C-alpha cells in the first residue's frame, strides 16, 4: 500500500553495563532544560525570594532522603551512599549563603543567581586534580537541577513519563532516575551518555535491568514506538531489527534461559572442584530481607553481614536490644552455617543520626569504620555487646572493617573483652571464644598481616577498597576507571601474601569483594589459596558452576603463571582462556 514501508535496521554500539536480551518498543524521554529567566525584584520582595529558596532546599533535601531510603531498601547501603554527596551539597551553608547574599545585592530572583553560583562552584571543582573533588561537580549540577525544579513547582522524575512496558531511551539518566525505575514497565534502558563505572551503570546492574550507555546519538536516531533489540552484555542496540536478527537473538535468549535453569539445579550441590577441593560459598547481605534468598541461590551462610542499614535513615540510633534482635535473626536463619557480622563501616560521608559532619575533604581517607568506632565507644560497645549476645548461637563471627594497623585490632579486642566481662556479670550467655577477624582492604594491613595474625582468627579480603587504595583509583571516576585492575600484579601479590601469612598462622582467608563474584577470576583466587568466597546471592550460581568444573590442580598452575606475569592484561587473558575452556556458559551470561 502506498505510504507504507519497512524501516531499515540500524545498529549502534555502546557500553554494555547490565546484561540481558530484551525486545520492546522504545519510549524516548524528553530532555529537560534549565529554566532561569531573570527578573528584577524590589527590596521588599527579597525576604519572599529567600523563603522560596529555603523551601526549595527543604523539599530537595526530603526528596534526596526519600530516594536514598528507597535505594537502601532495594539495593542496600552501598548503593544508597551514592546520594550522600548530594545531601552534602544541599546542606552546604557556604553555597546557600552565597546565593542569598547575591539575591540581596543584585535584587534579582533566585533562579539565575543559584544557577550562576552553582556553575561557578562546579566549574572550579571540575578543574581540580583531586579526582574525588572533581567528581563533586556532577553532584552540584544534579542537585541544582532538582532545586530549580522545586522552585518552578515541577518534577524531575523522568520515570513519571513511563505509562507502559518499554525500553527507555534518554540523553542521560541520573542515579535518582535509575533508582525510581519501575521494573514492571522499564524492561531496559539506553542512553547517549554514561560509562561502565558511573553510578547509574552500577545501579542498573544491581537492579538487574539490562542497559547500554555511551551511545552518543541514540536519542537522535530513535523515535518513540521504534522496535528495539538490546544486548546488554555486548553493548549492542538494534533499531527496528530484521526478522533474521530477531530469530538469532530469540535462540540466544532461549539458550541463556536454559543456562539459568541449569545453574539453578546446582543450589544444593557442594561447591567442590572436580578433584575434590571444597571452596565454601557464603553470601554478602545488606538487609534482613535478604536472609531468605541466601540458601535459595546456593550459598551457605553469610560471609559479610553489613550492619550500616540499622543506623542510617532512622530518627534514633538502634539500641543494644534492637541490634541484638537483628543479629540473632541472622544467626538463627543460617544455623549451623557461619554468620560474619561486620562492625560499623560508617564515615564522615555517611554518619548516623546525632553525629556531626566534620566536612572532611576526603572522607574515604578520614575518620571512618574502625577509627570512628574506637573514637566513639558509646557507639561501638552496644554493637559489640549485641553481637556477643547473638553469639550464643556458635555460628556467629565478628569482623572489624578498614583496619590499617595492629593497634586498632588490639584496641577493639580490649573493648570486646570489656563487653564480655560486663555480660558475664549480667548473666548473659555468649560464645567466650567467638572468632574475631579483620577486613584486609588497606595495603598497610595486607603488608603487616603477619603482625595482625596473632590477634585474630581469620582475614577477609575486601578487594573493592584494596584495589582502589593500592592503585589510587576511584572506580566511580570514569576518567581513571580504566586503571582499576583486579589483575594488576600488585593486587595479586598482596592477596598471595595475605593468604600465605594466614595459612602459616593457622588462619583462613575469605574474599568478599567483587573479585569473588567475577567467575573469570574465581580460578585465580582459588589457585592463590583463598579458602572461602563470599558473594551477593545472585552471583552464587555462576561462581559455584565454575568451582564444580574446575580442577584445583589447574587453578594452582594458573595462579603460578599469574604470579610471574608482567601485565594485568596477560593475567586477565589466561583467566579468561581457562573459563572459555571449562565453563563457557558463564561467559555467555556476562559478556
- With respect to residue 551, please indicate whether it lies within any of the assigned structural domains: no
DSSP string for residues in 475-488: TT-TTTGGG--TT-
- Residue owning grid cell 550500616: 308
Q: Given the DSSP bridges, would you call strands 21-28 and 15-18 parallel, antiparallel or unpaired?
A: unpaired
**Is a pLDDT exceeding 70 seen at residue 414?**
yes
Burial class (CB in 10 A: 0-12, 13-18, 19+), 417: exposed
**Is a pLDDT exceeding 90 seen at residue 278?**
yes
d(CA 447, CA 405): 10
pLDDT in tens, 400-409: 999 999 999 9
> What is the rounded average pLDDT of the residues 14-25?
90
**Is a pLDDT exceeding 80 seen at residue 361?**
no
- pLDDT band at residue 33 using 50, 70 and 90 as cut-offs: low
d(CA 80, CA 83): 6
- pLDDT band at residue 127 using 50, 70 and 90 as cut-offs: low
Q: Which cell numbers in the block locate residue 296?
A: 535459595
Nearest to 458 by CA among 335, 282, 270: 282
In contact, 79 and 203? CB cutoff 8 Å: yes
To the question of pTM greater than 0.85 for the whole model, the response is no
Domain CATH number, residue 423: 3.20.20.60
- With respect to residue 514, please indicate whether it lies within any of the assigned structural domains: no
Active site (annotated) includes residue 512: yes
Domain CATH number, residue 63: 1.10.274.10
- With respect to residue 202, please indicate whether it lies within any of the assigned structural domains: yes
Kindly state whether residues 90 and 213 are assigned to the same domain: no
**Is a pLDDT exceeding 60 seen at residue 135?**
no
Domain CATH number, residue 232: 3.50.30.10
- With respect to residue 526, please indicate whether it lies within any of the assigned structural domains: no
**Is a pLDDT exceeding 60 seen at residue 133?**
no
Nearest to 206 by CA among 343, 80, 51: 80
Kindly state whether residues 26 and 166 are assigned to the same domain: yes
In contact, 327 and 387? CB cutoff 8 Å: yes
- With respect to residue 377, please indicate whether it lies within any of the assigned structural domains: yes
> What is the rounded average pLDDT of the residues 344-363?
66
Query: What's residue 371's pLDDT?
Result: 93
> What is the rounded average pLDDT of the residues 412-418?
97
Query: What's residue 32's pLDDT?
Result: 60
Residue with more model confidence, 36 or 536: 536
d(CA 415, CA 188): 49
Q: Which of 199, 373, 488, 510 is catalytic?
A: 199
- With respect to residue 539, please indicate whether it lies within any of the assigned structural domains: no
Final residue in a domain of this structure, among 434, 462, 480: 434
Nearest to 204 by CA among 478, 15, 346, 481: 15
Q: Which of 166, 510, 512, 575 is catalytic?
A: 512
Query: What's residue 453's pLDDT?
Result: 98
d(CA 225, CA 24): 9
Final residue in a domain of this structure, among 403, 434, 465: 434
Kindly state whether residues 298 and 177 are assigned to the same domain: no
The most confident of 76-90, 107-121, 261-275, by mean pLDDT = 261-275
- With respect to residue 579, please indicate whether it lies within any of the assigned structural domains: no
Kindly state whether residues 419 and 304 are assigned to the same domain: yes
pLDDT in tens, 287-329: 787 888 888 889 999 999 999 888 876 778 889 999 999 999 9
Kindly state whether residues 16 and 106 are assigned to the same domain: no
Structural domain of 203: 10-32+159-255
Nearest to 464 by CA among 21, 157, 66, 79: 79
Rounded to the nearest 10 degrees, the angle between the axes of helix 131-152 and helix 46-75 is 120
- With respect to residue 482, please indicate whether it lies within any of the assigned structural domains: no
pLDDT in tens, 210-236: 999 989 889 888 988 999 999 998 899
Kindly state whether residues 145 and 172 are assigned to the same domain: no
Kindly state whether residues 200 and 248 are assigned to the same domain: yes
Least confident of 26-40, 93-107, 503-517: 26-40
Nearest to 100 by CA among 50, 141, 42: 50
What secondary structure letter does DSSP report for 288?
G
> What is the rounded average pLDDT of the residues 498-515?
96
Kindly state whether residues 287 and 427 are assigned to the same domain: yes
Rounded to the nearest 10 degrees, the angle between the axes of helix 110-126 and helix 46-75 is 50
Q: Which residues contact 37 (CB under 8 A, 6 or more apart)?
A: 109, 111, 112
Kindly state whether residues 61 and 171 are assigned to the same domain: no
**Is a pLDDT exceeding 50 seen at residue 238?**
yes
Residue with more model confidence, 476 or 274: 274
Query: What's residue 76's pLDDT?
Result: 63
DSSP string for residues in 381-427: HHHHHHHHHHTTSTTEEEEESS--SHHHHHHHHHHHHHHHHHHHHTT
- pLDDT band at residue 558 using 50, 70 and 90 as cut-offs: very high
> What is the rounded average pLDDT of the residues 51-64?
87
d(CA 415, CA 61): 37
Final residue in a domain of this structure, among 388, 410, 434: 434
Active site (annotated) includes residue 373: no
Across-strand partners of 305?
285, 341
Kindly state whether residues 28 and 114 are assigned to the same domain: no
Q: How many domains does the chain have?
A: 3
d(CA 313, CA 321): 18
Terminal C-alpha separation, the chain: 42
d(CA 171, CA 30): 8
**Is a pLDDT exceeding 70 seen at residue 24?**
yes
Which strands form 211-213's sheet, in the order they lie side by side?
Answer: 10-13, 236-239, 227-231, 21-28, 166-170, 186-191, 211-213, 15-18
In contact, 185 and 76? CB cutoff 8 Å: no
Count of Cβ atoms closer than 10 Å to residue 346 Cβ = 24
144-156 burial: b if 16+ Cβ within 10 Å, else e: bbbbbbbbeeeeb
C-alpha to C-alpha distances, 6 to 150, 169, 229, 243, 572, nearest whole angstrom: 44, 21, 16, 11, 44
Q: What percent of the chain has pLDDT over 90?
A: 52
Nearest to 173 by CA among 147, 123, 209: 209
- pLDDT band at residue 4 using 50, 70 and 90 as cut-offs: very low
How many Cα atoms within 13 Å fall on the side-chain side of residue 545? Answer: 26
Kindly state whether residues 132 and 177 are assigned to the same domain: no
**Is a pLDDT exceeding 70 seen at residue 129?**
no
Query: What's residue 34's pLDDT?
Result: 57
Query: What's residue 131's pLDDT?
Result: 47
Query: What's residue 1's pLDDT?
Result: 40
Kindly state whether residues 56 and 24 are assigned to the same domain: no
Amino acid at each position: 500500500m502506498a505510504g507504507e514501508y519497512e524501516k531499515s535496521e540500524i545498529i549502534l554500539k555502546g557500553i554494555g553495563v547490565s546484561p540481558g536480551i530484551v525486545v520492546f518498543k522504545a519510549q524516548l524521554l524528553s530532555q529537560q532544560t534549565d529554566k532561569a529567566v531573570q527578573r528584577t525584584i524590589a527590596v521588599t520582595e527579597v525576604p519572599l525570594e529567600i523563603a522560596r529558596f529555603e523551601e526549595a532546599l527543604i523539599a530537595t533535601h526530603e526528596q534526596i532522603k526519600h530516594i536514598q531510603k528507597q535505594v537502601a531498601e532495594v539495593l542496600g547501603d552501598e548503593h544508597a551512599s551514592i546520594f550522600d554527596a548530594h545531601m552534602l551539597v544541599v546542606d552546604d551553608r557556604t553555597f546557600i549563603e552565597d546565593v542569598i547574599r547575591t539575591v540581596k545585592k543584585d535584587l534579582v530572583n533566585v533562579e539565575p543567581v543559584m544557577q550562576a553560583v552553582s556553575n561557578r562552584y562546579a566549574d572550579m571543582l571540575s578543574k581540580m586534580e583531586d579526582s574525588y573533588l572533581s567528581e563533586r561537580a556532577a553532584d552540584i549540577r544534579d542537585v541544582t537541577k532538582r532545586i530549580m525544579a522545586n522552585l518552578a513547582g515541577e518534577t524531575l522524575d523522568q520515570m513519571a513519563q513511563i505509562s507502559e512496558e518499554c525500553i527507555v531511551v534518554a540523553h542521560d539518566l541520573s542515579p535518582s532516575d535509575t533508582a525510581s525505575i519501575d521494573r514492571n514497565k522499564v524492561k531496559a534502558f539506553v542512553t547517549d551518555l554514561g560509562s561502565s563505572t558511573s553510578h547509574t551503570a552500577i545501579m542498573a546492574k544491581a537492579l538487574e535491568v539490562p542497559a547500554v550507555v555511551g551511545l552518543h546519538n541514540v536519542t537522535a536516531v530513535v523515535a518513540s514506538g521504534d522496535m528495539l533489540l538490546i544486548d546488554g552484555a555486548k553493548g549492542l542496540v538494534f533499531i527496528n531489527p530484521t526478522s533474521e536478527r530477531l530469530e538469532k537473538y530469540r535462540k540466544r535468549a532461549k539458550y541463556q534461559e536454559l543456562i539459568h535453569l541449569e545453574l539453578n539445579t546446582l543450589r544444593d550441590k557442594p561447591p567442590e572442584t572436580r578433584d575434590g577441593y571444597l571452596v565454601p560459598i557464603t553470601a554478602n547481605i545488606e538487609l534482613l530481607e535478604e536472609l531468605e534468598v541466601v540458601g535459595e541461590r546456593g550459598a551457605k551462610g553469610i560471609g559479610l553481614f553489613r550492619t550500616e542499614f540499622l543506623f542510617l535513615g532512622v530518627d534514633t540510633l538502634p539500641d543494644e536490644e534492637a541490634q541484638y534482635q537483628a543479629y540473632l535473626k541472622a544467626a538463627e536463619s543460617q544455623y549451623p552455617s557461619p554468620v560474619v557480622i561486620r562492625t560499623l563501616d560508617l564515615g564522615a560521608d555517611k554518619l548516623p543520626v546525632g553525629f556531626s559532619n566534620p566536612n572532611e575533604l576526603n572522607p574515604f581517607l578520614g575518620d571512618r569504620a574502625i577509627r570512628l568506632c574506637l573514637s566513639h565507644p558509646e557507639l561501638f560497645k552496644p554493637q559489640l555487646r549485641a553481637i556477643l549476645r547473638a553469639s550464643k548461637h556458635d555460628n556467629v563471627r565478628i569482623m572489624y572493617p578498614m583496619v590499617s594497623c595492629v593497634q586498632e585490632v588490639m584496641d577493639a579486642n580490649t573493648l570486646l573483652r570489656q563487653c564480655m566481662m560486663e555480660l558475664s556479670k549480667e548473666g548473659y550467655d555468649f560464645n567466650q571464644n567467638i572468632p574475631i577477624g579483620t577486613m584486609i582492604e588497606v595495603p598497610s594491613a595486607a603488608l603487616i598481616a603477619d603482625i595482625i595474625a596473632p590477634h585474630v582468627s581469620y582475614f577477609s579480603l575486601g578487594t573493592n577498597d584494596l584495589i582502589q587504595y593500592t592503585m589510587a583509583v576511584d572506580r566511580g571516576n570514569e576518567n581513571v576507571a580504566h586503571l582499576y585492575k583486579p589483575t594488576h600484579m600488585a593486587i595479586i601479590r598482596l592477596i598471595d601474601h595475605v593468604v600465605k601469612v594466614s595459612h602459616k598462622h593457622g588462619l583462613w582467608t575469605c574474599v568478599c569483594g567483587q573479585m569473588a563474584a567475577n567467575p573469570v577470576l574465581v580460578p585465580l583466587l582459588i589457585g592463590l589459596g583463598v579458602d572461602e568466597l563470599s558473594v551477593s546471592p545472585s552471583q552464587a550460581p555462576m561462581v559455584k558452576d565454575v568451582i564444580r568444573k574446575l580442577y584445583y590442580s589447574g587453578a594452582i598452575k594458573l595462579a603460578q603463571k599469574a604470579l610471574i606475569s608482567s601485565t594485568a592484561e596477560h593475567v586477565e587473558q589466561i583467566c579468561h582462556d581457562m573459563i572459555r575452556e571449562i565453563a563457557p556458559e558463564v561467559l555467555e551470561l556476562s559478556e
